[in-house]
Amino acid sequence: MSKENVLKVENVTMQFGGVIAVDNLNLEVNKGEIISLIGPNGAGKTTAFNVITGVYAPTNGAVYYKGNKIIQNHPQGKMKKLYRGENPVTYTGHRALAPTPDKITAMGIARTFQNIRLFKSQTVFENILIAKHLRRTSNVFTATFRLNAREEARMRQEAEELLEIVGLTDVRDELATALPYGKQRHLEIARALATQPELLLLDEPAAGMNPQETLELTQFIGRIRDEFGLTIFMIEHHMDLVMEISDRIYVLDFGKSIAEGNPEEIRSNPRVIEAYLGGAQDE
């Protein structure tokens, strides 16, 4: 069976001044997979997500989505001089591609954040509805002033259906911040789903959850992958979740990828045990 590539990260380096947060990262995520990115605190995991979602333009390298190059480093000579990675620079003579995060969302890539980012003074339903507007089909005039009534009705209907699917209908009219922490995490995922992504990036979805909540989340992630036909790329520290759900795992340490494999291979990889599993399991 041939694999259909959804995300490809190619030679991506992200520097902040002298800090190389991501160092020549290469990885691939194929259609329908659940892939995890693990590694110690400060390894560069969130930075990798920030490059993929257009928050930062990478210092070097490129990102492909469904076979198309969507992000490419800036070609300025300044960057070339600053670059401290070991890989040959790929700056010269090409056009930079640096779409903004909203453009990336519109392409079909949605994400959640390590620190929950919900609209705090809005209800659960409104949080979903606002996200729906991020992928509207109306033109800029109707979007700015008033959506046409039919489209607005359709979005409201879709938002209701989504609440039903993710099991948040009973808290529909509560303020997002009034929800227990675990439900807020579910709502954040539901809000990402509202933009109708094909690729969903989750940054520590189980952060702060107890074992029972983590188990429920694991089942939830598996279920939405199947139900929405998603491809999922996830950063997570809870090893039970990662080992249970991942098709493959990439391990980052000091910005570099030190291992890749299925859960069994990662569990028994000496470099991984040394860099990560030995010290910081299930914190």
Give Cα 254 to chain centroid, integer Å: 20
- CB nearer Mg ion, residue 194 or residue 272: 272
Site for Mg ion contains 257 (CB under 5 A): no
What x/- string results for residues 153 through 182 when contact with ligand ATP is judged by CB under 6 A?
Answer: ------------------------------
Signed CA dihedral, 55, 61, 66, 67: sign only: positive
**Cα 151 to Cα 262: distance, rounded to the nearest angstrom:** 43
We find the least distance from the C-beta atom of residue 151 to Mg ion, in angstroms, to be 36
What x/- string results for residues 76 through 115 when contact with Mg ion is judged by CB under 5 A?
Answer: --------------------------------------x-
Q: Which of 9, 23, 36, 39 binds ligand ATP (CB under 6 A)?
A: 39
- CB nearer Mg ion, residue 13 or residue 72: 13
Site for ligand ATP contains 19 (CB under 6 A): yes
Return the DSSP state at 176. Answer: G
Site for ligand ATP contains 24 (CB under 6 A): no
**Cα 61 to Cα 94: distance, rounded to the nearest angstrom:** 12
We find the least distance from the C-beta atom of residue 235 to Mg ion, in angstroms, to be 6
* Residue 181 binding: pick among Mg ion, ligand ATP, none (C-beta 5-8 Å cut-off by kind): none
33-62: contacts with Mg ion (CB under 5 A):
45-46
Return the DSSP state at 175. Answer: B
113-132: contacts with ligand ATP (CB under 6 A):
114
Q: Which of 23, 44, 70, 71 binds ligand ATP (CB under 6 A)?
A: 44
Report DSSP letters for 83-116, one per residue.
---SSPP--TTS--B---HHHHHHHTEEE--SS-
Report DSSP letters for 191-229, one per residue.
HHHTT--SEEEEESTTTT--HHHHHHHHHHHHHHHHHHT
Site for Mg ion contains 218 (CB under 5 A): no
Site for ligand ATP contains 46 (CB under 6 A): yes
Angle between helices 149-166 and 124-133 (to 10 degrees): 130
We find the least distance from the C-beta atom of residue 122 to Mg ion, in angstroms, to be 26
Rounded (5°) CA angle 223-225-228:
100
Site for ligand ATP contains 21 (CB under 6 A): yes
- CB nearer ligand ATP, residue 41 or residue 144: 41
**Cα 257 to Cα 144: distance, rounded to the nearest angstrom:** 44
**Cα 31 to Cα 232: distance, rounded to the nearest angstrom:** 9
Q: Which of 32, 42, 167, 261 binds ligand ATP (CB under 6 A)?
A: 42
We find the least distance from the C-beta atom of residue 238 to Mg ion, in angstroms, to be 14
- CB nearer Mg ion, residue 32 or residue 42: 42
Phi, psi angle pair for 255, to nearest 5°: 80, -10
Looking up tokens 């980052």, which residue turns up? 252
Residue numbers at the binding site for ligand ATP (CB under 6 A): 16, 19, 21, 39, 41-47, 114
Q: What residues make contact with Mg ion under the rule CB under 5 A? A: 45-46, 114
